Amino acid sequence: MKLYHANRRRRLSLRLYDKCGKRLKSASRKLRHFLRCLRTQRSHAIHPRLISNLYTVSRAFKGRELVVYSGYRHSHASKLKASYHHQGRAIDFRVRGVSNKRLRDFALRRFAKSGVGYYPNVPFVHLDARPKRGAFWIDFSGSGERARYAKNARKLLRMERRGIPIRERRTVVVIIAEGPAHGTPVPMARLLKAPTANMGHHEQAPLARRHRLSRRALSTVRRALSPLLPTSRFQAQRKRRRSEEPPALHRVAPIRPLVPPMPALPRSTIVAPSDLASTPQAMTRRSSRNRRGRGE
């Protein structure tokens, strides 16, 4: 079995078994020293089943070189509280000249009580020897980043076998608020850093109070929203089209009253105010008032 440590830049060739099929103790000691902790330089015994799994991988891929990135990790030098790397049961590696997808599928198909971790953004595959049952997960984080596990790794694996590539689904929450008067656009940085007064009573409105976004996160949101926002070329074309349209399309029609207007009276029936006192109706009313005053 041929090994190459990517961080130490050291190579190791091992003969694990003798002619009778027994594991050589000298090979176990060499492998223990080769996979020691990178930070503390302390070594730990490697689990026999993990050694057997590595040998099976080497034989399955015709003795290709195994590129190791991490083996044993001391608990004081690791951020994780519980990890199989602390017990000498896990290794991060790849097979030279073989894709990680092929190595992942082989490990899932061949090893039952093992944990297989697939990392699309890093160049290795995680393999560990577990006491009870196996596990499989997908982590989209990069080197030195916080873990971003997929919710349903098995489902993504089935989709990949149908031809759909494994991709991380990111949810970007954007709060769209009205700008100041006259429709002035609000800068994205202002929306993300401080909530506006037009957001109302929504509970999720004050996003900036609960989450302080760094410049890196802000740039990530901008890149995610750039396909959705209108480009400068599109805005220029829209402005040109509006200027070429006839001005009648931009005019607002006058509001018509719902009640129809009264019909106009003919000219012969219109009575002047000065002639109202000489009409027969006015003379009749005046005579009736005089009679009442006399007591007739």
Asked which of 136, 161, 186 is the last residue of a domain, the reply is: 161
Same domain, 138 and 198: no
Same domain, 96 and 198: no
* Inside any domain, residue 124: yes
Confidence class for position 76, pLDDT limits 50, 70, 90: confident
∠ CA 125-12-33 to the nearest 5 degrees? 85
* Inside any domain, residue 24: yes
Q: In CATH, what number is assigned to the domain containing residue 31?
A: 3.30.1380
More confident residue, 55 or 288: 55
207, 194 contact by CB (below 8 A): no
Looking at residue 292, its pLDDT comes to: 59
More confident residue, 45 or 200: 45
pLDDT tens sequence across 23-60: 888 999 999 999 999 999 999 999 999 999 999 999 99
* Inside any domain, residue 154: yes
* Inside any domain, residue 70: yes
**DSSP codes of every residue in the chain:** -EEEETTTTEEEE---B-TTSPBPHHHHHHHHHHT--TTT----PPPHHHHHHHHHHHHHTTTPPEEEEE----GGG-S-SS-GGGGT-EEEEEETTS-HHHHHHHHHHH-SSEEEEE-TTSS-EEEEE-SS--EEEEB---TTSPP-B-S-HHHHHHHHHTTPPP-------------SGGGPPPPHHHHHHS--GGGTT-TT--HHHH----HHHHHHHHHHHTTTSPPHHHHHHHHHHHHHS-GGGGSPPPPPPSSPPPPPPPGGG---GGGGGGSHHHHHHHHHHHHHHHT-
Query: 10-24, 75-89, 111-125, 264-278: which has the minimum mean pLDDT?
Result: 264-278
73, 114 contact by CB (below 8 A): no
Give the count of domains, the chain: 2
Looking at residue 201, its pLDDT comes to: 39
Nearest CA to 42 among 4, 77, 80? 77
Same domain, 154 and 178: no
pLDDT tens sequence across 146-159: 888 888 889 999 88
Same domain, 87 and 208: no
* Inside any domain, residue 259: no
Same domain, 149 and 174: no
Confidence class for position 285, pLDDT limits 50, 70, 90: low
Domain hosting 122: range is: 2-161
What's the pTM value of the predicted model, to 2 decimals? 0.58
Same domain, 27 and 83: yes
pLDDT tens sequence across 214-251: 666 667 777 777 666 666 777 788 788 777 766 554 45
Asked which of 161, 190, 210 is the last residue of a domain, the reply is: 161
* Inside any domain, residue 239: no
